[in-house]
């Protein structure tokens, strides 16, 4: 088992990996670096790392068994090139956490020697919060953790990395970098583009009708939540995954033209089939498994309207030590059964909340 780890980037992902490793084996020594010194100081304070590196490439780098690069994808490519010029331990494993893999793995293949074992990584879980204070040792539990090895990485290298990352309790999948970028393009990258485009459309219509923003406060706001993601990160992801996304754009346009034709021709049968097939496939998707887009653990509660009802509900949860991440009163309730939306960090917290509210109250709960 590796005993010395170096971690570049001490945000949500890097911090969560470090916390999970330290929780399972405190004897593993982790040195960390972040361009934001306050993040690094906090990472040490909460026990994610043992030591703060003064520079990105400290002298002790040559003694590290594994190096994690937990930075945005554009920076990751630059760091791999810079690491190739450093004095590193023979057989050192370098891994990253980027959401795209082809350019990163190609860079590793071109710049790193065969004594350096690069294994691309993508833990497919996240949070709607960022930074080291949002890091949790269980962030990747039950999530998929994709591994995309470079040409010099052996099976033993991959097993060693998995052994270390078993602390995350993630489910590992190995695939090529090319396949990874195609799959994540479909289930993560392109949905972010669609969500952003829907928001743009609503913004355009608001110029004609000021009520758009107010009415969008319900279900529309929920289905476009991923459009609130970090714009710098998504700019880099789209540029790195250009080829698969351009193909998806073409396919999406063809699909929208097909549906447009159904509407133009008032083709009721095909419209019904279109929505039915989409519903059936969506209903068959795994519910408990974490995916590429962070899950929302929401509970909608239909509560009576009287003074103090919100504090009453939150009081029930406080009694059972169930933490909320957000609470919101719903005004636009089309296809939403509850007036109060409670958001939780995990599915377990949401399930506990359902039983808690049911035990304490006489009004019903509805979940979507």
Lowest mean pLDDT among 221-235, 249-263, 337-351: 337-351
pLDDT of residue 363: 55
Nearest-5° Cα angle at 345, 340 to 346: 105
Cβ burial of 99 (10 Å; 0-12, 13-18, 19+) is: buried
Q: What is the DSSP letter of 277?
A: H
pLDDT at 168 over 60: yes
Q: How many angstroms separate the CA atoms of 292 and 98, rounded? A: 12
Q: What is the mean pLDDT of residues 259-286?
A: 94
Q: What is the pLDDT of residue 113?
A: 95
- Structural tokens at position 90: 């023979």
Q: What is the pLDDT of residues 42-67, one digit of tens each?
A: 999 999 999 999 999 999 999 999 99
Torsion, Cα 173 179 181 185, to 10 degrees, reads: -100
The burial of 156, by beta-carbon neighbours within 10 Å (0-12 exposed, 13-18 middle, 19 or more buried), is given as exposed
Q: Say what the pLDDT of residue 330 is.
A: 63
Of 103 and 212, which is predicted with more confidence? 103
Q: Kindly state the average pLDDT of the residues 224-240.
A: 88
Q: What is the pLDDT of residue 288?
A: 60
Cβ-Cβ contacts under 8 Å for 47 (sequence gap 6 or more): 19, 22
Dihedral angle over CA of 321, 327, 329, 332, nearest 10: -130
Alpha carbons within 13 A on the beta-carbon side of 60 = 18
CA pair distance 299, 255, nearest whole angstrom? 33
pLDDT at 333 over 50: no
| Mean pLDDT value across residues 266-274 | 97
Residue 336 has pLDDT above 80, yes or no: no
What pLDDT is attached to residue 305? Answer: 65
Provide the Cα torsion 143, 146, 147, 150; round to 10°. Answer: -160
Q: Considering the chain, what is the average pLDDT of its residues? A: 88
DSSP 188-252: IIHHHHHHHHHHHHHHHHHTT-THHHHHTTTHHHHHTGGGGS-HHHHHHHHHHTHHHHHHHHHHH
Q: What is the mean pLDDT of residues 210-237?
A: 82
Domains of the chain (ranges, CATH numbers): 4-175 (3.40.50.720), 180-283 (1.10.3660.10), 297-366 (3.30.70.260)
Mean per-residue pLDDT, 215-232:
80
Q: What is the pTM of this model?
A: 0.79
pLDDT reported for residue 229: 83
- CB burial of 43-73 (b: ≥16 within 10 Å; e: otherwise) equals bbeeebbbebbeebbbeebebbbbbbbbbbb
98: pLDDT strictly greater than 50 = yes
DSSP states along 45-66: HTTS-SEE-SSSS-GGGGG-SE
The token pair that represents 119 in the structure block: 């294994």
pLDDT, tens digit, for every residue of 279-312? 999 888 876 666 666 667 778 777 666 777 788 8
Please compute the mean of the pLDDT values over residues 21-29 and round it to a whole number: 96
Judge contact between 147 and 180, C-beta under 8 A. no
pLDDT at 85: 94
Q: 103-148: per-residue pLDDT in tens? A: 999 999 999 999 999 999 999 887 666 789 989 998 898 889 999 9
pLDDT of residue 292: 60
Calculate what percentage of the chain has a pLDDT beyond 90.
61
The predicted structure's pLDDT at residue 39: 95
Section 199-211 average pLDDT: 88
82-86, 152-156, 326-330: range with lowest mean pLDDT: 326-330
């Amino acid at each position: 088992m590796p005993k010395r780890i170096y971690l570049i980037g001490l945000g949500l992902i890097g911090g969560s990996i470090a916390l999970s490793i330290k929780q399972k084996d405190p004897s593993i020594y982790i040195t960390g670096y972040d361009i934001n010194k306050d993040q690094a100081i906090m990472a040490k304070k909460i026990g994610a790392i043992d030591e703060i590196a003064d520079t990105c490439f400290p002298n002790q780098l040559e003694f590290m068994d594994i190096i994690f690069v937990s930075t945005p994808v554009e920076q990751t490519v630059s760091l791999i090139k810079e690491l190739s010029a450093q004095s590193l331990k023979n057989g050192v494993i370098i891994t990253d956490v980027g959401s795209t893999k082809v350019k990163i793995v190609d860079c590793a293949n071109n710049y790193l020697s065969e004594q350096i074992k690069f294994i691309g990584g993508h833990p497919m879980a996240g949070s709607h919060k960022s930074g080291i204070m949002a890091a949790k040792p269980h962030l990747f539990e039950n999530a998929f953790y994709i591994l995309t090895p470079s040409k010099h990485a052996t099976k033993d290298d991959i097993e060693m990395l998995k052994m270390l990352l078993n602390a995350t309790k993630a489910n590992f999948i190995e695939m090529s970098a090319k396949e990874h970028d195609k799959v994540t393009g479909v289930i993560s990258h392109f949905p972010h583009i669609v969500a952003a485009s829907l928001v743009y459309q609503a913004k355009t219509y608001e110029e004609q009708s000021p009520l758009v923003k107010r009415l969008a406060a319900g279900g529309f706001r929920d289905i476009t939540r991923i459009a609130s993601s970090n714009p710098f990160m998504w700019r880099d992801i789209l540029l790195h995954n250009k080829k698969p996304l351009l193909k998806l754009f073409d396919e999406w346009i063809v699909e929208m033209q097909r549906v447009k034709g159904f509407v133009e021709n008032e083709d009721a049968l095909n419209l019904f089939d279109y929505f039915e097939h989409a519903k059936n496939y969506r209903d068959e998707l795994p519910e408990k498994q974490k995916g590429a887009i962070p899950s929302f653990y929401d509970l909608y509660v239909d509560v009576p309207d009287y003074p103090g009802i919100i504090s009453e509900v939150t009081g029930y949860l406080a009694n059972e030590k169930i933490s909320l991440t957000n609470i919101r009163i719903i005004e636009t309730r089309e296809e939403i059964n509850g007036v109060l939306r409670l958001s939780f960090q995990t599915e377990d917290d949401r399930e506990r909340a359902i039983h808690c509210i049911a035990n304490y109250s006489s009004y019903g709960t509805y979940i979507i």
